[in-house]
Chains A and B, each alone.
Chain A
């Protein structure tokens, strides 16, 4: 069973709309969650991390964490064609000898059309 689940999409939204990306996880002990963006043919790059319940905002991006329901989401406001990419959700292992280890979801392909 995959520990981090994402809807692979593709998710298509018009320019200027809000894109909502969701992720569920199974490791209840996990403290930290990350959203990476990966353009086609490129390597992943971190755009947000969150470890407290609630919302965390950074520019057009908002990460939301609900530990009781074990889900993490990423909202992209005023979506731009340049946001078109695959978005990877990752959770960090909950301590022990594997701290620092990230488990990634399959990724959601986002397409923002003009």
Chain B
């Protein structure tokens, strides 16, 4: 398997422009996670999907951010309009949720991360 695929790997855009990040999860995985990583805030979960349905979007910073997962093999994270403070590395990860029980409860197994998209907003 090719692993989690993200595109583009680097994106430089001007403030106010729309940015779309793309992710293809590992085939057969049922959960997909979008993270943002910065030096100041570390690795933060933005949103995650289970079976293409958004489960928790409490980490989405504001209405400028939106995410979709139209099918099991594709997801997008869109920022409109972009701002300099959105500059970060955005990771997509996928896992097989609910397939492994730990300590008697449903749990995720390993989350596999994509290579990330480095976004710079000027």
Which positions in A face B, CB cutoff 8 Å?
31-32, 42-46, 49, 51-52, 88, 92, 95, 97-107
Tell whether A98 pairs with B56 under 8 Å between CB atoms, given A31-B107, A88-B43, A92-B108: yes
With a cutoff of 8 Å between Cβ atoms, the chain B residues found around residue A100 in the complex are: 31, 48, 50, 55, 95, 97-98, 106-108
The stretch from B18-26, B64-72, B77-85, B109-117 touching chain A is B109-117
With a cutoff of 8 Å between Cβ atoms, the chain B residues found around residue A42 in the complex are: 115
A100 to B109 alpha-carbon distance, docked (Å): 8
A92 to B111 alpha-carbon distance, docked (Å): 11
With a cutoff of 8 Å between Cβ atoms, the chain B residues found around residue A45 in the complex are: 113
Q: Are B45 and A103 in contact (CB under 8 A)?
A: yes
Tell whether A92 pairs with B114 under 8 Å between CB atoms, given A98-B55, A100-B95, A104-B43: no
**Is the C-beta of B103 less than 8 angstroms from some C-beta in chain A?**
yes
* Closest A residue by C-beta to B58: A98
Q: How many residues of B contact A (CB 8 A)?
A: 26
B89 → chain A closest CB, angstroms = 9
Q: Are B43 and A99 in contact (CB under 8 A)?
A: no
Q: Are A97 and B56 in contact (CB under 8 A)?
A: yes
Q: Are B45 and A99 in contact (CB under 8 A)?
A: no
Q: Are B45 and A101 in contact (CB under 8 A)?
A: yes
With a cutoff of 8 Å between Cβ atoms, the chain B residues found around residue A102 in the complex are: 33, 45, 108, 111
A34 to B26 alpha-carbon distance, docked (Å): 20
Tell whether A97 pairs with B43 under 8 Å between CB atoms, given A43-B91, A92-B108: no
B37 → chain A closest CB, angstroms = 9
Tell whether A31 pairs with B50 under 8 Å between CB atoms, given A43-B91, A99-B97: no
